[in-house]
Amino acid sequence: MSTHIIKLRNFSPRRNFPKASRNKRGESNFVLSFQKVYLDSRKGLGAREFPLSGYGIADLVWLSYGNLEKHGRASAFSYEKVLQRITKKNLAAFEFKLSDWKRAFMQAYRYSYFADQSIVVMPIENIKPAKTNLMQFQRNQIGLWAFDVSKEKIVKIFTPEYSSARNLLAKQKAIDILLRQFYFSRRAK
């Protein structure tokens, strides 16, 4: 398996919060638990806290396209080769919230401009209010998943079909950021 998670920057959006809530790590721990389970059997490249100007900061983005290792050291040639292998529908963005499904939905909708699939993930014990509004998720093609941390189980309530991102230039920019960062980090080794 070839799974890579890259860290794009050291800045944490949590620094914008008041000091009292800045150090609460509930959502971050939730994301890490989900990431461990979700990426266990996948090949591709992902990034946490992925900023794309004008579209917000996605908690997790995932680009599926196979094994990067076989392309060897970073080079312009291997970079172009990977770009050619990328299928049209393979970029997913995830928004995680512990309870506020409306806010998660709005953020995930923004990500649908650059991602082929945009999904809200919430703890299984807090998913009921979002499930009662499932039609809104379906109508807008935004996924809704529940995650049971204790059982390490993902429950896919609604998964939209992969479709083209609403803005293909934004999608290309997101893919470009991921791939350049990956090849930059490999070259530094």
pLDDT at site 19: 52
pLDDT at site 182: 76
Q: pLDDT at residue 15 above 70?
A: no
- Which of residues 6 and 159 earns the better pLDDT score? 159
Return the domain boundaries, the chain.
3-188
Q: SS3 letters for 144-159?
A: EEEEECCCCEEEEEEC
pLDDT at site 186: 58
In contact, 25 and 64? CB cutoff 8 Å: no
Average pLDDT of the residues in 46-57: 92
- Look at 24-28, 93-97, 134-138, 171-175 and tell me which has the smallest mean pLDDT: 24-28
In contact, 26 and 145? CB cutoff 8 Å: no
Fold of 3-188: Trna Endonuclease; Chain: A, domain 1 (3.40.1350)
Average pLDDT of the chain is 81
Residue count of the chain:
189
- Which of residues 11 and 51 earns the better pLDDT score? 51
pLDDT at site 159: 95
pLDDT at site 77: 43
- Which of residues 177 and 110 earns the better pLDDT score? 110
Q: pLDDT at residue 128 above 80?
A: yes
Residue type, position 111, single letter: Y
What is the DSSP code (8-state) at residue 109?
A: H
In contact, 67 and 2? CB cutoff 8 Å: yes
Residue 185: half-sphere exposure toward Cβ, Cα within 13 Å = 15
Give the residue among 39, 60, 35, 41 at the shortest CA–CA distance from 50: 60
- Angstrom distance (rounded) from CA 180 to CA 63: 13
What is the DSSP code (8-state) at residue 99?
A: S
